Structure 1
């Protein structure tokens, strides 16, 4: 009976060591998996924050362009053609200054967009801003009347509004 007790004690000890080893491997795997899930969740959160920040920056720049566009009616109301042309040239130069950050934030927002609808909305705002600028050039050159600006401006604000809607849909 003494040999049997020793054999049972050895088997019990080996089983305990094996169980401990299996348990520790399970804990290590679980910890590794939990760390990977946590890292993925943090990365997704970070990317979401970057995306939201890029959209907000682009929308802010779009509104800053709008502030500049709001200066246009006073320029267009100038009766003297020479003076009006000179003021339009100055106004377009100011628009080009604001255009750099606007273009940059558009590109950043497009890079971080998750959906094709958000990318298309960014592109529409960008294209509409160009249309407004080109309309001002045509007005300065006498090719078209002031109504072209107002039509282009309506398209611009419609595009900005559509961008806001696309961003809200993407974020929900």
Structure 2
């Protein structure tokens, strides 16, 4: 009877050690999975925040340029030729500066990705070219340039709206 008790005690001890090892291994694995999931969530949140910031910067800069486009239209309507030329020259300098900022912000949006947003941002950037050409023509006295400038606003604004739509879709997609 003593031998059976020894075997039962040894078997019980071995079972307890094995159960303890399995439990600790499972707990450690579960903790590792939970930590990995938390790290992935934090990384996704950081990426989403960086992208959102980059996209908002592009939108804000496009708005600044749009505001200057309205000022160009107003300046083109000035009756005094010297005053009109001075206003248009000043606005061209200001637009160059704002374009430089837009270009930099488009590069950041391109860096943050995804490719669809980068492409939309670049289309927005390129949509400013015709405005600039028309402004230069206004400065040189081209009589049709004012209308060409006005005609550029709708495509520019459409590129802004398109960028916002693509950026929104990218931010709300399941995969970043």
Do they fold alike, i.e. is TM over 0.5? yes
Aligned partner of 1:123 in structure 2 is: 122
Q: How far apart are residue 63 of structure 1 and its match?
A: 0.5
Specify the SS of the correspondent of 1:146: helix
- The offset of 1:80, in angstroms, is 4.2
Aligned to 1:17: 17
**Structure 1: tracts of 5 or more residues without a match:** none
Q: Distance in 2 between matches of 1:19 and 1:74?
A: 82
Deviation, structure 1 residue 6: 0.8
Give 1:114 shift: 2.2
How far apart are 1:136 and its partner, in Å? 0.6
Which residue does the alignment assign to 1:114? 114
SS at match of 1:78: coil
CA distance in 1, matches of 2:18, 2:95: 74
CA contact (8 A) 1:129 1:156 kept: yes
**Distance (Å, rounded) in 2 between the aligned partners of 1:131 and 1:37:** 48
Is 1:86 matched with 2:91?
A: no
Alignment of structure 1 residues 52-91 onto 2, 5 Å: 52-91=52-91
Aligned-residue Cα RMSD (Å) equals 1.7
Aligned residue pairs, count: 171
Q: Does 1:132 align with 2:114?
A: no
> 1:123 & 1:102 partners in 2: Cα distance?
10
Contact 1:115 1:170 in 2 (8 A): no
Q: Which deviations, in whole Å up to 9, do the C-alpha atoms of 1:11-34 show, x marking residues without a partner?
A: 110111111012101110111011
Report runs of 4+ in structure 1 exceeding 3 Å deviation.
Answer: 79-83
Question: Residue 6 in 1 paired to residue 38 in 2?
Answer: no
Matches of 1:166 and 1:23, distance apart in 2: 48
For 1:141, the equivalent position in structure 2 comes to 140
The worse-fitting range, judged by mean Cα deviation, of 22-31 and 141-150 is 141-150
Deviations 1:71-120 (A, max 9, x none): 1112111344444333211110111222232222221122223242x222
Unpaired segments ≥5 residues, structure 2: none
**What is the TM-score normalised by the length of structure 1?**
0.90
SS at match of 2:106: helix
**Are the aligned partners of 1:62 and 1:160 in contact in 2 as well (CA < 8 Å)?**
yes
